[in-house]
Each structure stands twice: as structure tokens, then as C-alpha cells.
Structure 1
């Protein structure tokens, strides 16, 4: 299935359900998927967020040594770069689908402050947050006050997921109706580029 086969008829509820389902599945089995097209790109990016989430947990362990934290930090930097590259791939795929559909877009059509790829990334993180708050709700070794606080936060996350999903659906509908322009904004991160990060290119100098 190609990207254009999935757009402009993509339902955001299908996308968010995929994120929720894979988070649950990947906690029980190895990370992987068989999706293609836009959903495949989205799932690749989602898998990177899944890995990032758990690396971030490791970095905050009070028993982690300095050496372990340094290694985790390097892993996090690499995954973050990969995550941003994948967000751009999602946005590029949407641009290609708009062009393939021959949708006329007025030159003065407004541009959203956040691209669909960035919104999808936020939804991915929300699905991870929902899962882990759900785990906290089920703990038997905590006080009722802890579980009540977690349940309250879980409800807020669910509201945020619903609101953000609706906003993304409206944005995609506007893009594929020509009411809004879509552009991919390049992150152009500098910290992993040996020619741009002074801490790297000065490392060998006296």
C-alpha cells in the first residue's frame, strides 16, 4: 500500500489506535510491524519514541553509574536525531500525497504553526504516557492517594489525546481540501554533526 492510497482518507482515530495497540504489544514482544505507506512511516517513528521512552527511564535510575548514564545519553541523542528525521519523512509523505492528488492550494492559504508530522509525534508520546500511567494505576504497592493522583493525570492525558486527535483530523482535512498549505520544516539539528558542534570538532585540538 502506498502513501497516496492512505491519504486523503486517513482517519486519525485509526492512527492513534495503532499507536495505542503497538505500545501494548511491544511491552510483551519485540518491536516490529508490517505496515506500509504513511502508516508504516508513522509506526517507524512511534517505535523510535518507544525506545526513547525507556532509555530516558534508564538515565534517571539512581543506581546508574556515570559510565552507564553517558552511554544512555549517547543512545538518546542518536534516537532523537532519528525521531526528527522520521517526523520529516511523515511530512514529506503528506506533501507527496497532496501533489499526487493534484489538490489546488491558494498561495495565500494559511500555514499551520505545527506540521502533521509533529502532531503525530505528540500523539505517539501521549500513547506511551497513557500506557505507563495505566500501569501505575494497577500497582498494588502504593497508597490510595498515589493511585488517585495517577488516575487524575490519566484522565487529563485521555482528554489531551482526544483534543489533539480532533485537531489533527481537522488539519489534514484542511490540507487535502486546499484550505491550508503544508510544508516540511527541516529540523537541521547541529549537536550530532561533527562539522557543526564545537564540542566535537574542537575535541582533537590542543
Structure 2
């Protein structure tokens, strides 16, 4: 969603009804409605972007694909919200009048209206027509909140029934319907290296490749490959979620083509939003490694002027590279020696496995006859010890 976009505030009647739900349902609904509002914000931004006069035909096509995907996600989230909100209804009143829309549909309308008010207020400083619309928009929001609370009251009391929440939306061909992508069974483990300029990302990936046999990949390469495959002109113009799906799709293809590879590395993580979405898709299969080093150390190691490093930092930070640290599974302080860095990387890339002990007699160890015979008498002697610790008599 656009930076500093407004939160979605639910009307008091609905908030009170939701508070009666079980904790599990309450958390699920909160997450779903939050994501729905976020998707609506992304839709608004993408629809604004596609109206740009300087966009090429390929860029317009990219925006259209993103809008279709976001609309599909929007409808799926609304249906998921209705699965929870529907439990507020009094199921015993089958003869109650049927309402025209579900509770989530009204919440979705409230989300869009909240965004419209916010954008109109921003435009009001330079647009007189927008300024005059703002009071009317606030009035619409008050009326919608009051109507939603009245509907919730009727539904809970059994005075109103809600329609079936399934929307049966189609976006393109039936076989192109969006489905959540999951990691391939061959994609066992991925390390994603992030950090600012000259922090040691490439050095770390090269070391893991050399010592652990990892398949080393670049995020930019993966996105370009996916864009070519999907017919996209600019994958970086897509939403963070869509970029993550493209990345995972390419990782799956590499893993399926290299089934013996147990570890992949990807670099360089410069976008906190897309890596957060990728983490949500992959879970613990993806381990984010953030390499931290002071500006002075990075300048010294780079062998370039400080202003050159600062300029690269500025570009990366504008994309959220510095915020990846908050998402990282491992943060490495890379201001020390190369040996210290390698020790950290070994622990992350090849964590120690539990050692299984096997009990065997000395006769099975391939010792000389004399040694095997003498060793064989040791456990017998130990077992023959008395409780007091002295050897038992022969």
C-alpha cells in the first residue's frame, strides 16, 4: 500500500460483534481484513500507475496483469473474511429476509471509501473540486458505517440472512486461475544474503558455494528469467507479492532441474517488501542472512571513494535494503576477520546434525586377535563390578 496510507477503522457495532469470536477466528479475521485493505491500496496505486501518459504498451500490459492478480486476491480475501463473519449470523432463522451483500463486501466497500477519502484530502491542497468533495465523502463513510452496524445487529439477531459468500470470479482462462505457489519438494534450503554495499554478500555466497556445494543465484537474474517466461516487460514494477511468486517459481524450476542440490543461495536482497513476501511463501525453507558492517569498514574494503559507496547505499536504502535486517533469521557482524565470517557461515549453511551412537563389541572393530580378546574382557570386567565399586571375585 502507498506509504502512510490510512488504517481501516471498523464501525463500533461490528467491532463489538467481532470481539465475541474465539481468539483463533479473531486473529484470522484481523489478518484477512488487514490484507484486504492492503490489497485495495495496491490496486489503487497500480490503477493510478497504468494511467501514466508515458507508459509503453508493454508496461500497460504488466499493470493489467498485476491488476487482475490483485483483484483475484481481493476476492479470495473477501471470501475468507466472510467465512469468519458468517459465524455471527443466527443460523436458526431461515425465513429471515435475505440481504443483498455479505458483511465482507460492505467491509471491502468501506476500505475503498477510506482510501478515496485519504487520496481526496491529499489532492484537496491543489484541486478545488477534490476539496469540495471531501465533506461529502466523510458523510458517505458515516452512512456506510451506520448501515453496516445496523446490518450486523440484524444478522446477529436473526432478522436478516446473508447471501452465499462465494464470488465465482474468473480472470482469464479457467486453467490460469491464480493459486498460491508453494516450494517444490526438491527445494530443500535457500540462503538469501542481504546488506548494504560492500558488506560481504558476494564473498559469503561464493564461500558457501565452494565449501557446501550450493547453487549460487542472483535475484535480478531470477526475476529477469521469470519476466521473460511470463511475457513481462518490467518485473520490478509489479507488487512485492507478485515478485516473490516469480522468484519462488524460478527457484522451483532450478530445484526440479538439479534434484541433487540441497542448498541454494540468492543475492542480493535489496527489497524488504518482496523478501518478506517470499519468506511468507517459503517459511523456514528460506533463511535470510543479513551482513552488517560499518560504513568506514565497507569503504576501506571496497577500495573506492567514500562517496561512491554512499551513492550505492542511497539507492539500496531507497528500496528498503537496510530494513531487511529486521526480517533476517541471521544477522552477522562482518566487521571482523574473514575467519570469523566463515565460521558464522559454516554454522548457518551446514548446521551440525545429531550424531547417532552405535554400540558394538570389540570383535567387530577389525582389531588384531590379541587386542580384540583383551578389549572384549573390558566390558565383562565392568559388568562384574560390585555396587561398591570393587571388582567381583573371579
Is the shorter-chain TM-score for this pair beyond 0.5, marking a shared fold?
yes
- Which of 162, 167, 174 aligns to 2:154? It is 174
- Which of 121, 135, 147 aligns to 1:155? It is 135
Confirm whether residue 126 of structure 1 aligns to residue 104 of structure 2: no
State the secondary structure of the residue aligned to 1:110: coil
2:85 is matched with 94
Confirm whether residue 49 of structure 1 aligns to residue 40 of structure 2: yes
In 2, Cα distance between equivalents of 1:158 and 1:88 = 27
Q: Deviations over 1:134-183 (max 9, x none)?
A: 111224xxxxxx32x21221111111111111000000111111111123
1:183 is matched with 163
In 2, Cα distance between equivalents of 1:89 and 1:165 = 21
Q: Tell me: CA distance 1:58–1:104, structure 2 relative to 1, closer, same or farther (3 Å).
A: closer
In 1, Cα distance between equivalents of 2:163 and 2:118 = 32
Q: Deviations over 1:68-112 (max 9, x none)?
A: 1000100000000110111111111112344xxxx4532210111
Contact 1:190 1:196 (C-alpha < 8 Å) held by counterparts: no
Contact 1:91 1:183 (C-alpha < 8 Å) held by counterparts: no
Flag the structure with larger Rg: 2
In 2, Cα distance between equivalents of 1:96 and 1:90 = 10
Q: Tell me: CA distance 1:91–1:181, structure 2 relative to 1, closer, same or farther (3 Å).
A: same
Q: More helix per residue: 1 or 2?
A: 1
Q: Tell me: CA distance 1:67–1:15, structure 2 relative to 1, closer, same or farther (3 Å).
A: farther
Which runs of structure 2 are paired with 1:127-146 in the superposition (5 Å)?
127-139=114-126, 146=127
Contact 1:137 1:150 (C-alpha < 8 Å) held by counterparts: yes
- Which of 68, 79, 99 aligns to 1:77? It is 68
2:174 is matched with 194
Q: Tell me: CA distance 1:96–1:104, structure 2 relative to 1, closer, same or farther (3 Å).
A: closer
Count of matched residue positions in the alignment of Structure 1 and Structure 2: 158
TM-score by length of 1: 0.70
Q: More strand per residue: 1 or 2?
A: 2
In 2, Cα distance between equivalents of 1:168 and 1:97 = 13
Confirm whether residue 164 of structure 1 aligns to residue 153 of structure 2: no
1:19 is matched with none
Contact 1:12 1:165 (C-alpha < 8 Å) held by counterparts: yes
Runs of 5+ consecutive residues of structure 2 not aligned to the other structure: 1-9, 16-25, 178-394
State the secondary structure of the residue aligned to 1:36: helix
Which runs of structure 2 are paired with 1:57-72 in the superposition (5 Å)?
57-72=48-63
In 2, Cα distance between equivalents of 1:135 and 1:182 = 36
Contact 1:130 1:157 (C-alpha < 8 Å) held by counterparts: yes
1:109 is matched with 96
Contact 1:91 1:184 (C-alpha < 8 Å) held by counterparts: no
Per-residue deviation at 1:13?
Answer: 4.2
Contact 1:95 1:183 (C-alpha < 8 Å) held by counterparts: no
Contact 2:99 2:163 (C-alpha < 8 Å) held by counterparts: no
Q: Tell me: CA distance 1:55–1:14, structure 2 relative to 1, closer, same or farther (3 Å).
A: farther
Q: Name the structure, 1 or 2, with higher relative contact order (CA <8 Å, separation 6+).
A: 1
1:26 is matched with none
